[in-house]
Amino acid sequence: MNRPWITGPEALTQRLSDPAQLPPDDPASGLPPYLESFLAHLRMLVGVPFAYLVPDPRFLPPESIRFFHLDRSWTDRLVDGALAVGKVGTREQAHHQAISSAVASRLDRTERVVRSLQRAVRSFEQAKASADSDPNAAGPITGFLLRSVVVSGWPDLEVRAFRRSDGALVPLATLRLEQLQATVLVALFDGVPDVVWCEEPHHGVAFGVPVAGPGAWTLATRDATGLPVAGAPATTVPMRAGGRRVIAIAELRRRLHARHLANPSRVPPQTGSAAFAIAVLSPPWRQRFEGTGAHPFGGLVPVVAVAATAADPGVKSALEEVAR
Amino acid sequence: MADLVPPARGEMRLYDAMDLPFTMGRYRLTTRVDASFSSGTGALSSERQFEVAGPRFALAPDEVASVIPPRNAAGAFAGTLPQIVLGRRTLPWERSLGAPASSGAPPAAGDPPAIAGDAPWLALLVFSEAELTLLERMPLEQIVPDDVFTRLGRPAGVVCDAIEADTSLISAIVPSREELALLAHVRQVNVEDRALAGKDPDGWFAVVVTNRLPEPGSRTHAVLVSLEQRTDVVPANPPSFVDPTAQPGRRGLLGQIGALAGGLRASGFDVPPTFPPVRTRLVALHHWAFDVASGGTFRERMQALDVALMGDLRDADGPPVTDTGHLPLELHDRAGSVEQVWYRGPMVSRPLTRDPLGPYHSADQARRVSPETGAEDVSYAAAFEVGRLLAAADARLAQELMRWRRDAYDQSGRLSMLDAVRTALPLAPELTAELPHAIAATVAVGAVARLAAGAGASADPSGLVTLASAPGLNAEAVAQAWHLGSAEEARTLLAGTTLAAPVAQVAAPAEAAPSAEAIAALASAAPPAPPRAGRGKRRKR
């Protein structure tokens, strides 16, 4: 005989002492964490088939970046659809009707923690606690789709978005940054950015020589902190004979030292491997997308692509702002 | 070093080398004290032996903090010099390269100062897939030449991993002594900076860099090799160099010869200095591989991007998209006929206001007809269906959703019950406030209080008042119903059945109603009632 897992009196006791019956005036108080997390991910378009995002491949040709505003009504319908599972009668409809505004305002906060959940840096409870205390209401969400071999060739591309406020750059929260396919990256930001950066991944700090042409490399002249010296000529990287792509390290050092002799105040002498390392460290490249604001609909209209390296003094102060 | 302020976050300090009090090896420590005392002299002496040990023919994987490019990564690393980061900062300087076969050229005028100290014994070499043979678990005496084996101390029974490549290739890529020193340095990073420091507790690392750029479009192997006592492969002076430039005319003679040899190699000709090719083996301490994609640099790629807003089209033969971003699509409707509808994804080129209507209960509710074209807009209906399918595909989600709903219905039922209890029981305000928290106790107390209050006096103890209102005994009603002349006739007919006068009200019980406390006292004095079988319905969860 099967034993019932709960008897009548026990069920009654449980029901009468269930703390979930408090507070009785919040219909969404019992929203299960799994459901809430799923709906928040849906809000960020996680799992939505790509053909629904880009209905025609010509919208996103190879080697292109497309900025966009997120249609909130579209994502609200996604959530409605998800909650419509198993909706067979008026009882479910009445329930949905009653809780929908509470669920929507709750998801407006929870959707901000989807990225930290995706990166598994925090548990859902921790992330939600910080999101629930966020006083800011849901604003517009923007983002971009990048289709390029950059996505596959440079994994862990760094993306940041900024809003201009009194001449300073205020960082916007990144809500999603994910590789959808081998060469397609999607990014979502909390707000309308004025400037978007795509930065070559740091990976610690790697060594490298910029390619100056087929089979030729040059190094910019740097000062003691690694910043390029303005106006100083670049150094051609000498290679060992034999065509095996081997850098003639000793000769390169000799040439870098010659740069020091030509400009002793700015360029440090080649004293050893540390000085050599500073000269050969590859600075990450930062691509900058900037809006003109001249669009009749306002907001981000990326038409200018200004480029700078991360070590550029012009953007260094902004970088320090972000780091702080 | 200990008195140095650690670097700030995001900052990194570089050092040329680590000076070691001892290189690895066996040491004998002899102490001798000559003592003289009144009755003569004597000497106290003692001898101790100790050994400074460290990785030699193998390197545990956890000694490697990180490698660049990452293991098995694929990317455009053609301009990146692979590097290995070692958690043990002294490692590259722990062993000796051996006495140089010939001294290097002295620094000429204008040359940088010569590097003091011994060169590191570790080198990172980069090979393409075809150039390299990996050998696993080789006896050491089969890897190194006999004279090197002797200088290593002829350690017996050492088995380690090794690489094998053409001697001409090895001699072409192995750095010289000076270059080895330049290719290793020490980094100190802030321990709080997780991105740089990883799991290392002290923030100090030794970095060994290679001198060879990976070939684009190939699988590349990077090997950390031991050059301890390998004076046979490490050149004192680096080989000749060329200036590779885009213009062949500016290339030096050596460069042209090198390019010629490279071209011959590329076209299948082997141009070794000796035939058959002599192979050289080196002890391999760590090995990883990665794929180098062909293509331009990050900078070139990013600058060449086509930048626009979603929905902007570059060529005239693109899809016939409207300025609102809608795309005409063909839809098979329920009847099976093909219909032109509009669709727009969630990514739009302008800010939109959020639809205040909602929630929507079915996809059809979200279908709209565009007044300009008369065609349907199914964007939101499609979104609804995608959300529904994604949720239905997740079994756990469906369960959670059902449970959530059922809990809400239960909650709603409880609320109705509370309302009913509130109206039925005249509860004290304090009890009403407590009602949601402890409904069983509150209802019980309320019921007991009501019991104690009693039902009050009966309004019609004899029942005659009720009986009198029965139509059959009412003369007027009978006269009207039977069309009699008057009520008098009816009374005559009903003679003898007229009701007596109502009985006088029975007096209320003399004693006062017992209080709730009195009843509670009685109940506690009485023996406890046997537990009753519960009649609650079994609930399925």
User: Mean per-residue pLDDT for A251-280?
Assistant: 85
Main-chain dihedrals φ then ψ at residue B51, nearest 5 degrees: -130, 130
The pLDDT score that the predictor gives to residue B513 is 53
Token couple for B366? 């979200």
Tokens 């979200």 sit on residue: B366
Q: Does residue B371 lie within any of the structural domains?
A: no
Q: Does residue B407 lie within any of the structural domains?
A: no
- Look at residues B179, B218, B438, B58 and name the one whose alpha carbon lies nearest to residue A270: B179
Q: Does residue B162 lie within any of the structural domains?
A: yes
Cα angle, residue A277 at apex, residues A271 and A282 outer, rounded to 5°? 145
Task: Check residues B465 and B120 and name the one with the higher pLDDT.
Answer: B120
Assign B498 a pLDDT band (cuts: 50, 70, 90).
low
Q: DSSP characters for B401-459?
A: HHHHHHHHHHHHHHHHHHHHHHHHS---HHHHHHTTT-HHHHHHHHHHHHHHH-----S
Main-chain dihedrals φ then ψ at residue B106, nearest 5 degrees: -70, 150
Is residue B527 scored above 60 in pLDDT?
Answer: no
The pLDDT score that the predictor gives to residue B384 is 95
Is residue B459 scored above 90 in pLDDT?
Answer: no
Main-chain dihedrals φ then ψ at residue A203, nearest 5 degrees: 55, 55
Kindly state whether residues B82 and B212 are assigned to the same domain: yes
Sign of the C-alpha dihedral computed for residues A31, A37, A38 and A44 taken in this order? positive
Assign A42 a pLDDT band (cuts: 50, 70, 90).
very high
Assign A71 a pLDDT band (cuts: 50, 70, 90).
very high
Number of domains in chain B: 3
- Look at residues B130, B206, B173, B186 and name the one whose alpha carbon lies nearest to residue B282: B173
DSSP letter at A37 equals H
Kindly state whether residues B132 and B46 are assigned to the same domain: no
Enter the pTM of the model. 0.62
Cα-Cα end-to-end distance for chain A: 67
Q: Please give the helix or strand (H or E) that residue B170 lies within, else none.
A: helix B167-173
SS3 A58: helix
Mean pLDDT of chain B: 77
- Find chain B residues with C-beta within 8 A of A212's C-beta: 246
d(CA A307, CA B4): 37
Tokens 């670049």 sit on residue: A234
Listed by number, the residues of chain B in 222-251 with a beta carbon closer than 8 Å to a beta carbon of chain A are 238-246
A6 vs B115, B176, B539: nearest CB: B539
CA B187 to chain centre: 28
Q: Which amino acid is at B44?
A: L
Most confident of A141-155, A266-280, B123-137, B485-499: B123-137
Is residue B126 scored above 90 in pLDDT?
Answer: yes
The pLDDT score that the predictor gives to residue B2 is 45
Question: Please, are residues B110 and B198 in contact by the beta-carbon 8 Å criterion?
Answer: no
Q: Does residue B399 lie within any of the structural domains?
A: no
Is residue B285 scored above 90 in pLDDT?
Answer: yes
Is residue B340 scored above 80 in pLDDT?
Answer: yes
- Which positions ≥6 away from B539 have C-beta within 8 Å? A6, A11, A15
Q: Which of A18-32, A249-263, A299-313, B287-301 has the lowest mean pLDDT?
A: A299-313
Is residue B276 scored above 60 in pLDDT?
Answer: no
- Look at residues B149, B128, B151, B131 and name the one whose alpha carbon lies nearest to residue B140: B149
> Per the omega criterion (within 30 degrees of 0), is the bond before B359 cis?
yes
Burial of residue A276, with CB atoms counted within 10 A of its CB: 0-12 exposed, 13-18 middle, 19 or more buried: buried
Kindly state whether residues B219 and B72 are assigned to the same domain: yes
Q: Does residue B426 lie within any of the structural domains?
A: no
Assign B417 a pLDDT band (cuts: 50, 70, 90).
confident
Kindly state whether residues B31 and B74 are assigned to the same domain: no
Is residue B503 scored above 70 in pLDDT?
Answer: no
CA A171 to chain centre: 12
Is residue B56 scored above 60 in pLDDT?
Answer: yes
Put simply, the answer to whether A74 touches B185 (Cβ < 8 Å) is no
The pLDDT score that the predictor gives to residue B387 is 94
User: Mean per-residue pLDDT for B50-63?
Assistant: 86
Kindly state whether residues B274 and B131 are assigned to the same domain: yes
DSSP letter at B380 equals H
Is residue B506 scored above 70 in pLDDT?
Answer: no
Task: Check residues B61 and B311 and name the one with the higher pLDDT.
Answer: B61
d(CA B206, CA B189): 11
Kindly state whether residues B188 and B42 are assigned to the same domain: no
The pLDDT score that the predictor gives to residue B3 is 47
Q: Which of A47-51, A164-168, B188-192 has the lowest mean pLDDT?
A: B188-192
Assign A215 a pLDDT band (cuts: 50, 70, 90).
low
Question: Please, are residues A188 and A175 in contact by the beta-carbon 8 Å criterion?
Answer: yes
Q: DSSP characters for A235-294?
A: EEPPEETTSS-BB-HHHHHHHHHHHHHHSTTTSPP--SHHHHHHHHBPPPEEEEEEE-S-
Is residue A11 scored above 80 in pLDDT?
Answer: no
Q: Please give the helix or strand (H or E) that residue A171 lies within, else none.
A: strand A168-172
> Per the omega criterion (within 30 degrees of 0), is the bond before B113 cis?
no
The pLDDT score that the predictor gives to residue A213 is 63
- How many contacts does A have with B, using Cβ atoms within 8 A? 454
Kindly state whether residues B78 and B163 are assigned to the same domain: yes
Cβ density class A278-290: b for 16+ within 10 Å, e for less: bbbbbbbbbbbbb
Assign B43 a pLDDT band (cuts: 50, 70, 90).
confident
Task: Check residues B216 and B297 and name the one with the higher pLDDT.
Answer: B216
pLDDT in tens, B225-244: 999 888 888 887 777 887 76
Is residue B535 scored above 50 in pLDDT?
Answer: no
Chain A contact for B84, CB < 8 A? no
Assign B12 a pLDDT band (cuts: 50, 70, 90).
confident
Chain A contact for B207, CB < 8 A? yes
The pLDDT score that the predictor gives to residue B501 is 57
The pLDDT score that the predictor gives to residue B283 is 92
Token couple for B301? 């790629």
Q: Does residue B287 lie within any of the structural domains?
A: yes
- Look at residues A177, A125, A127 and name the one whose alpha carbon lies nearest to residue A151: A177
Q: Which of A133-142, A278-287, B119-128 has the lowest mean pLDDT?
A: A278-287
Quote the percentage of chain B above a pLDDT of 90. Answer: 12
d(CA B427, CA B424): 9
The pLDDT score that the predictor gives to residue A48 is 93
- Look at residues B120, B229, B212 and name the one whose alpha carbon lies nearest to residue B169: B212
Please name the residue of chain A whose CA is at the shortest distance from the CA of residue B310: A66
Kindly state whether residues B22 and B80 are assigned to the same domain: no
Alpha helices in chain A (DSSP H): 8-17, 33-43, 50-53, 72-83, 90-110, 114-118, 124-132, 149-153, 249-262, 273-280, 313-323
The torsion region of residue B157 among left (phi > 0), alpha (psi -120 to 50) and beta comes to left
Please name the residue of chain A whose CA is at the shortest distance from the CA of residue B272: A242
The pLDDT score that the predictor gives to residue B323 is 81
Put simply, the answer to whether B17 touches A272 (Cβ < 8 Å) is yes
User: Mean per-residue pLDDT for B260-274?
Assistant: 50
Q: Which of A303-317, B175-189, B285-299, B527-541 has the lowest mean pLDDT?
A: A303-317
User: Mean per-residue pLDDT for B522-535?
Assistant: 51
Enclosing domain of residue B468: 463-495
ipTM of the complex: 0.75
DSSP letter at B361 equals S
B414 vs A21, A91, A100: nearest CB: A21
- Look at residues B291, B356, B345 and name the one whose alpha carbon lies nearest to residue B128: B291
> Per the omega criterion (within 30 degrees of 0), is the bond before A23 cis?
yes
Q: Does residue B261 lie within any of the structural domains?
A: yes
Q: Does residue B505 lie within any of the structural domains?
A: no
Main-chain dihedrals φ then ψ at residue A41, nearest 5 degrees: -65, -40
Put simply, the answer to whether A152 touches B246 (Cβ < 8 Å) is no
The pLDDT score that the predictor gives to residue A315 is 40
A246 vs B68, B212, B319: nearest CB: B212
Is residue B457 scored above 90 in pLDDT?
Answer: no
User: Mean per-residue pLDDT for B469-473?
Assistant: 67
Is residue B220 scored above 70 in pLDDT?
Answer: yes
Mean pLDDT of chain A: 76
Q: How, if at all, do strands B368-369 and B184-189 pair?
A: unpaired
Please name the residue of chain A whose CA is at the shortest distance from the CA of residue B14: A274
- Find chain B residues with C-beta within 8 A of A245's C-beta: 212-215
Is residue B254 scored above 50 in pLDDT?
Answer: no
Q: So where are chain A's domains? A: 20-132, 211-280
Most confident of A107-121, A283-297, B80-94: B80-94
Put simply, the answer to whether A80 touches B305 (Cβ < 8 Å) is no
Kindly state whether residues B45 and B65 are assigned to the same domain: no
Chain A contact for B522, CB < 8 A? no
- Look at residues A215, A206, A225, A211 and name the one whose alpha carbon lies nearest to residue A283: A206
Chain A contact for B405, CB < 8 A? yes
Put simply, the answer to whether A282 touches B319 (Cβ < 8 Å) is no
User: Mean per-residue pLDDT for B183-205?
Assistant: 69
Put simply, the answer to whether A55 touches B15 (Cβ < 8 Å) is no
Is residue B11 scored above 80 in pLDDT?
Answer: no
User: Mean per-residue pLDDT for B25-51?
Assistant: 84
The pLDDT score that the predictor gives to residue B343 is 92
Kindly state whether residues B41 and B124 are assigned to the same domain: no
The pLDDT score that the predictor gives to residue B496 is 61
Question: Please, are residues A163 and A169 in contact by the beta-carbon 8 Å criterion?
Answer: yes
Q: Please give the helix or strand (H or E) that residue B265 lies within, else none.
A: helix B253-266
The torsion region of residue A298 among left (phi > 0), alpha (psi -120 to 50) and beta comes to left
Please name the residue of chain B whose CA is at the shortest distance from the CA of residue A48: B386
Listed by number, the residues of chain B in 316-355 with a beta carbon closer than 8 Å to a beta carbon of chain A are 318-319, 321, 327, 329, 343-352, 354-355
The pLDDT score that the predictor gives to residue A306 is 39
Question: Please, are residues A258 and A231 in contact by the beta-carbon 8 Å criterion?
Answer: no
Put simply, the answer to whether A244 touches B169 (Cβ < 8 Å) is yes
Assign B516 a pLDDT band (cuts: 50, 70, 90).
low
pLDDT in tens, B368-404: 888 888 888 999 999 999 999 999 999 899 888 998 8
Quote the percentage of chain B above a pLDDT of 70. Answer: 75
Count of CB atoms situated within 10 Å of the CB of B464: 14
